Structure formats: structure tokens, C-alpha cells
Structure 1
Amino acid sequence: MAEYEGDERADLGVLVMRLGRRLLDMEQPILARHGVSMWGYAVLCGLAGGPMRTQAALAASIGADKTRLIPILDGLQERGLIEREPDPADRRVRLLGLTSDGRRLQLAVQADVRAGEEELLGDLTTEDRAAFLRALDALS
């Protein structure tokens, strides 16, 4: 791996875009195999930590436009992967959560994605991998 100093490296936006494309290329076949879209998987991951009080809160947490999220939620609900239940405290609000099938799918996709990530990160030393993941987490 090259050492970069000064202006000899590509801009961060270019590097992140290249990495993003590699990740998407790796993830698309996994998602297709599991029958879920990238946004569908993002919703499943967003709900993996527990129910969300509103669709707007979910959209904000995964960086999605709440109006474009509705058909994705409808599809996931039709497949029995998520539930939208009225909030007992405010019946105008829908609580969103994973069903047991949704949790199983989320974990299965995540396991396959993580295996792909391991392959992608395979050329890095353990120390470089840990530093990369810490830096990525801090910057994101």
C-alpha cells in the first residue's frame, strides 16, 4: 500500500466514492439472494435495535426521505418482516418494529455482508483494520 503525503493522494470524496462502489457491488448480489433492496435492508437494520416511535424517526435514523420510505415499509410489512402498530399513548402514531422473520432476515443478510467485508478488508493487518474501522466510525 502506498504512503500518501501532500497532494499525491486522491481527495477523500473520490476515495470514499470508490470504496462505496466496491461495497455496493459486493452487497447487491447478497441483497438479491435474500430478496431485499438496499433500503429494505437499511430499514431492517434501523429497527434491529428496537422499535421506532414514528416513520419519520426511522427515516432520519437511516438517512432516508420519509415520503419515499412508505412503499418500502409497505412491502416489508406485506412480507411479514415488520409491524406497524398504533401507539397506545397516541393512536395517531405508528410504532415500527421487526417481526421474528424480519429479525432472522436482517441477521442473515448482515452475516453475508460481514463475510464480504472481511474479504474486502482481508489485505489489511489486524491493526490497520481496527484503525480503519475506528476512523470510519469517527468520521461518519
Structure 2
Amino acid sequence: MPKAAAPATSEVLRSSTLTDHLNFLLARANAIALAAGNAALAQHGLKVRSYSVLVLASGDARPSQRELAEFLQLDPSQVVSLVDGLESRGLVERTPDPSDRRANVVVATDAGRALAAVAGESAQAAEQRVHARLTSDERETLATLLRSLAFPED
């Protein structure tokens, strides 16, 4: 009698108790989403982190680098590097903060706002591909749950 084939390693790993851990599932889902986002944004010379800074600099908030670091949960040195890269491409500027002359805020240039809009379409398309298995109600529920984890003070 022939021996039954052993299950593939990926099937064995998928049945691991690790898949019962929410932190693992969030980390794996995040890795998949980041890879898709980075691939989609590459055509614009961006990655998810630089795109995030560009989008925030394109809005009305006029964030400082410190505020960007806190909001994005990045080390301040990473934000400095991201802003430097965007600034060297003429996409953002550091301008004096009118409410604190010791600080600078990061503001998108016209070219930066235009790129943020075009890149946003690519990012949105990648997000839709990653979440294609979910219904619109499930996506909204997931967004609500993730917001409550990401912003527990709200």
C-alpha cells in the first residue's frame, strides 16, 4: 500500500498555534499590505513610509517632524531621512512654524501634492487587491477595529 503524502510545510505551518495569536496575524497581514503598497508606489519613486509623510504634509495639519514621528510610530531619525528624501525631490519643504519659531513644519509643495494624489490612486488600487476577499461591510468593520487599536485614546 502506498504511503500517504506528507502535508506540505506551508500547510503544517498554517495549522500552527501561532495562527491563533492576533499579534502574529496583524504582523503577517501588515507585511502583505506593505509589500503590495510598496510595489504599487515604486512607480512613483515612493514607499509606504515616504508616501505617508507626503500625504500628511499635503494636508492642512502642517505637522512638525516630531509630530510625524509620533503619529507614524517611527523613530525621529527615520522621519528626518524620509523628509530629507522628499525635500531633495522638491516634494516637501521645511518651513518655520508660525506658532513656535524654534520648530519647523513639513509642507508639501505643489509638485508634492500632485504626486500624492496620483500615488494615492496606486495605493488605493493595491489596498483593494489585498482586501479583495473581504466584502465592503467586512472592510469597514476591519477599519473600525483597526482604528480602535491604532488610536486607543479616541
Q: TM-score if structure 1 supplies the norm length?
A: 0.81
Structure 1 unaligned regions, length at least 5: 1-6
Return the offset for 1:69: 2.1
The answer to whether the 8 A contact 2:95-2:104 is kept is: yes
The answer to whether the 8 A contact 2:90-2:112 is kept is: yes
1:71-111 alpha-carbon deviations (Å, 9 max, x no partner): 22122112110011223454432122111111111122221
Amino acid across the alignment from 1:39:
R
- Residues 46, 105 of structure 1: alpha-carbon distance in 2 compared, 3 angstrom cutoff: same
Give the root-mean-square deviation of aligned CA atoms.
Answer: 2.2
1:10-38 alpha-carbon deviations (Å, 9 max, x no partner): 21011111111111221121222111233
The percentage of counterpart residues that share the same residue type is 31
1:23-63 alpha-carbon deviations (Å, 9 max, x no partner): 12211212221112332112112223324353212221221
Aligned to 2:149: 139
Structure 2 unaligned regions, length at least 5: 1-16
Aligned to 2:120: 110
1:46 corresponds to 2:56:
yes
Decide which of 22, 29, 35 is 1:12's aligned counterpart. 22
Amino acid across the alignment from 2:30:
G
- Residues 54, 133 of structure 1: alpha-carbon distance in 2 compared, 3 angstrom cutoff: closer
- Residues 89, 111 of structure 1: alpha-carbon distance in 2 compared, 3 angstrom cutoff: same
More divergent stretch after superposition (17-26 vs 37-46): 37-46
Amino acid across the alignment from 2:103:
V
The answer to whether the 8 A contact 2:94-2:106 is kept is: yes
Amino acid across the alignment from 1:23:
A
Aligned length: 134
Return the offset for 1:8: 10
- Residues 89, 119 of structure 1: alpha-carbon distance in 2 compared, 3 angstrom cutoff: closer
The answer to whether the 8 A contact 1:77-1:83 is kept is: yes
Q: Which runs of 4+ in 1 moved over 3 A?
A: 87-91
